[in-house]
Chains A and B, each alone.
Chain A
Amino acid sequence: MRRLRPGTIVLLACLLVLALLPAFAEKYYVQLFTKIMIMAIFAMSLDLLVGFTGLVSLGHAAFFGLAGYVLAFAAPQYEAANLWLSLPLAMACSGLLALLIGALVLRTSGIYFIMVTLAFAQMVFFLFHDTEFGGGADGIYVYAKPVAAIAGWEPFTLENHVHFYFVVLVLLVLVYAALRMLLASLFGRVIVGIRVNEQRMKSLGYRTFRYKLVCFVLAGVLAGMAGYFAAAQFGFVSPETLGWHQSGSVLMMVILGGMGTLTGAVLGAFAMILLELGLQDLPRIGGLDLAKHWQLFMGGFIVLAVLLLPHGLLGLGQLASKLRRKPVEARDG
């Protein structure tokens, strides 16, 4: 039998804690961790672009938010949507949007790419903000959580917060495993090659545009999955869900954890949301409500993190393992 690496052991231990959490945690914490795991899926989808393919997208929330709107439309007032129909539909819509936007934005690179992804996401923002069908600037409610009924049989109900938690946990593990598999595949090797040296990939005969586009669409579909469950959990979608603050904060999760590592993206999601909560808990000093102005500290934290933590949180741990670092083989962790 292969000996488990220390990283794998830590990972399995974390998974065990997450699996046992609902047994001892209050409802509030179960829901909080559900939210975090949803954002972790979102962060991994962005890491596929930023960390593995080298595409810095500042408009990733568009695919996240769109899926939420699809769920809202699929659930007619006070009636629940069917999970097995509406989830694939929402993911497909996000994928289609990613295909459209990707085909345009991937014509550019570098600084242009960053600006153009931001701009197109903003276009989607205005589509929902300025029109009536999505509730305009006020957004739209998802009154009932989707039902997971197959021909009358319901294996679980999302109205139950513990069920919801486990569904998201299973998805998180599945997405993680699927991405690990993807990164070790022929396709995965190509996208990492593109990040390292796209020009050389072209001269080796790869039509890099195609691979980048497929990757962009895959990332969009996964962001859609996260957005769907986020909307189901909050019971509400608004243009802000696909706004650029959302894109900025998920990008921060990826970087904070250490980009180019899936575990880093998950770690980043946990760190960012817990930090956010911590800041929102700040005391009042004199006439100044620090908790109300928590974004001030978040901004300061981001600035400091960029200056002091160039390799993210995982980078702290890597200092130790740098000495026995192994080259990149046809796998990535």
Chain B
Amino acid sequence: MAEAVLRTERLSKHFGGLAAVNDVSLEFYTDQIHAVIGPNGAGKTTLTSLLSGDLPPTYGHIYLDGEDVAALSADRISQRGVGRSYQKTNIFLPFSVFENCRIAAQSRRKSSMRFVRPALAYREVVREAERALAEVGLEHRAHETAASLSHGEQRQLEIAMTLATRPRILLLDEPLAGMGGEESARMVELLRKLKQAHAMLLVEHDMDAVFALADRLTVMVDGRVLESGPPELIRASSAVQEAYLGTEESGQ
């Protein structure tokens, strides 16, 4: 198998005395979806934040293309091709839907220190934004304010913004949360398509989607990796059944 594009080694994050992420070592490959599941408070979002550079790790390493990037800030990680979508919708509410994607696409220019030409005159940025909107199926809402979108549409926009930055590695934190059946199915299709050219971390509670999409599954409990392997293995694991899957299914 090819070398992992993204790899963590004993990655840990402590908040005060609490270890939110504890000794996590994972690998991500292009054209694979690596899903991370686990109960609430297992440290999935914190793990995503560590990988995206939003939080600095307490210790441990993150290797991106073989280089340790654990000390880099979020903007540098993003420029190296890591795109993140947030669990808690994190968009520019007063902007139009299109402008949200346009500002995301603009970030791929070498510099935005351009003071004269109108932003809309940069055709390639505009096209990129339109492409990302079309990809998630929001083009018909392009000129509404982001604040006026439904919750599910805002989730779609969140993903579109991430895609507009043309990442090689996608970190998706609960992309399906709050989406209706149709939106959800569309997103699953999109993720399956994106898998071919991207490495993907998928944090998701929707088990049907996870087992439909994931090539590799990691179960986290209390900040630790409980089990990691192909979906069949995870489904069969008694430890996982006990700690997570069982309760999740009976709870639904």
Contact = CB atoms under 8 A, between A and B. Distances in A.
Interface of A: 181-182, 184-190, 193, 196-197, 199-208, 210-211, 214, 327-331
B218 interface: no
Contacts of A208: 75
Contact of B84 (A189, A203, A207, A330): A203
Query: Among A186, A188, A197, A214, which residue has the most Cβ atoms of chain B within 10 A?
Result: A186
Nearest to B126: A330
A202 B74 CA distance: 6
Contacts of B74: 199, 202-203
Contacts of A328: 94-96, 99, 145
B112 A206 contact: yes
23 contacts: A181-B115, A184-B120, A185-B116, A186-B112, A186-B113, A187-B115, A188-B119, A189-B102, A189-B112, A193-B92, A193-B95, A197-B91, A202-B78, A203-B54, A203-B90, A204-B75, A204-B107, A205-B78, A205-B79, A205-B108, A207-B76, A327-B145, A329-B99
Contact of A200 (B53, B79, B90): B90
A190 B112 contact: yes
Contacts of B84: 203
Given A181-B118, A199-B74, A210-B113, 9 more contacts: A186-B119, A187-B112, A190-B106, A200-B92, A203-B54, A203-B78, A205-B78, A207-B76, A214-B113
A200 B89 CA distance: 10
A186 B122 contact: yes
A186 B145 contact: no
Contacts of B106: 186, 189-190
Given A181-B116, A185-B115, A330-B99, A203 B94 contact: no
Interface size class of B (residues with CB under 8 A): 35 or more
Interface in B66-109: 73-76, 78-79, 84, 90-96, 98-99, 102-104, 106-109
B99 A184 contact: no
B145 A204 contact: no
Contacts of B116: 181, 185
Given A211-B112, A330-B120, A206 B107 contact: yes
A328 B98 CA distance: 10
A181 B112 CA distance: 14
B207 to A, nearest CB: 28
B120 to A, nearest CB: 5
A198 to B, nearest CB: 11
A185 to B, nearest CB: 5
A206 B74 CA distance: 9
A184 B114 CA distance: 10
A135 to B, nearest CB: 37
B119 A330 contact: yes
A214 B112 CA distance: 11
B123 interface: no
A196 B145 CA distance: 13
B52 interface: yes
B119 A184 contact: yes
A211 B115 CA distance: 11
Interface in B111-167: 112-120, 122, 143-146, 148, 161, 165
A260 to B, nearest CB: 10
B140 to A, nearest CB: 15
Contacts of B118: 181, 184-185, 330-331
Nearest to A204: B107
A188 B78 CA distance: 21
B93 A196 contact: yes
Contacts of A214: 113
